[in-house]
Amino acid sequence: MPSHLPLLLLLSLLPPLLSFLPPPPRFACFRPPSLIPAELVPLTVLLPPASKGISAQLSVLPLRESSSIVVLRAPLPFDLDAEPQQGLAVVTKDSAYGALAGDVLRYCSFFEMGLPRGDGMVTTAASFAGGVSWQCGLKDVGRAKSWEEVVEALVSNTPQRTDECVLVVERGGE
């Protein structure tokens, strides 16, 4: 047996092992640890439609010093003037529902097909019965793979599914 055979065997196993690593984010921005404030901001967000009473718990790490996290509720139809700038989704024009130019979009409500969520008997029965329907969640904009993914999340908030879109923005700071 040649002496380089174990090395060749090891090298042949590397590609399948590397496929289990998560892909690097393509849209998210990189911030050196020294520039990120060390304090997480806990947040509870009522998901749309508000009449369902479903909320999400978040812990948001601000990207800028002395910034604040603001939850906005935009009635449908809504307009959001935003664009990708240096890996961030930045609001470019003030809106009637409270978004301000310079705000950084961190999360937005989005809808996708899925099994009902919850811990009650009705949701458990619907899950076993295959009761697939539109489910609301919060899209982490910083982890989106492309700007198109952010736009798709925003436009999934349609009048057939909800009456508002929830936006979590970071405002102010250096």
Question: 119-143: per-residue pLDDT in tens?
Answer: 566 555 555 556 678 788 899 999 9
Residue 10 counted as domain residue = no
CB 135, CB 112: distance < 8 Å: yes
Question: Does 1 map to a domain?
Answer: no
Mean of the per-residue pLDDT values of the chain? 79
| 3 lies in some domain | no
- On whether residue 5 sits in a domain, the answer given is no
pLDDT digits (tens, 9 = 90+) for 46-84: 888 888 888 889 999 999 888 999 999 999 999 999 999
Quote the pTM value.
0.70
Query: Is there a domain that residue 27 lies in?
Result: no
Task: Specify if 111 maps to a domain.
Answer: yes
- Which of 161, 157, 168 lies closest to 77, judged by CA? 157
Give the domain extent around 85. 39-172
DSSP, collapsed to helix, strand or coil, labels residue 167 as strand
Number of domains in the chain: 1
- Tell me how far CA of residue 13 lies from CA of 1, 3, 18, 131, in angstroms: 19, 17, 9, 41
Note the pLDDT of residue 39: 85
Asked if residue 166 belongs to a domain, the reply is yes
> Which is nearest to 118 in space by CA: 55, 25, 28?
55
Whether 81 is in a domain gets the answer: yes
- What is the mean predicted confidence (pLDDT) over 36-48? 81
- Compute the distance between CA of residue 157 and CA of residue 110 in angstroms, rounded to an integer: 6
Q: How far apart are CA 4 and CA 58, in angstroms?
A: 51
